Amino acid sequence: MFRWLTRLSAFLLLVAATSGYCAEDPFWIDVRSEGEYQSGHVSQAVNIPYTEIAARIGEITEDKDAPIYLYCRSGRRSGIAKETLEAQGFTQVTNVGGLEDARAMAGEAAVQ
């Protein structure tokens, strides 16, 4: 009777381990300018302009497997930042898109 439960548990652990799911909270990075950041941002986000991301990512994390969510105004600058971080070996970088997309994903209103 419990044999199927053991197999199910093992299967679920295998799926979780191979799916890329991570219970760790992501690092939110707003790659817009400081002025844009000051006008409104996701509350968990830190501001690192996309032109500085390569030099400053170590301020946030050195874990290459840490989940990182990037956003800007439209997704263009966060796309550039994503490519930069991936070139440095970061494996779980997500371009969330624009601020409104980030707000929706974070489930909150922007901080003014």
Average pLDDT by consecutive 10-residue portion of the chain (112 residues)? 45 45 81 97 97 98 98 98 99 97 87 62
Does residue 50 lie within any of the structural domains?
yes
Does residue 95 lie within any of the structural domains?
yes
Does residue 111 lie within any of the structural domains?
no
Give residue 112's pLDDT.
62
What's the domain range around 98? 24-106
Give residue 17's pLDDT.
46
What pTM value is reported for the model?
Answer: 0.77
Does residue 56 lie within any of the structural domains?
yes
Please list, in sequence order, all residues whose beta carbon lies within 8 angstroms of the beta carbon of residue 105, skipping any fewer than 6 positions away: 69, 96
CATH number of the domain that 40 lies in?
A: 3.40.250.10
Does residue 84 lie within any of the structural domains?
yes
Neighbour-count burial of 96, counting CB atoms closer than 10 A to its CB (0-12 exposed, 13-18 middle, 19+ buried) = buried
Give residue 24's pLDDT.
78
Give residue 100's pLDDT.
94
Does residue 11 lie within any of the structural domains?
no
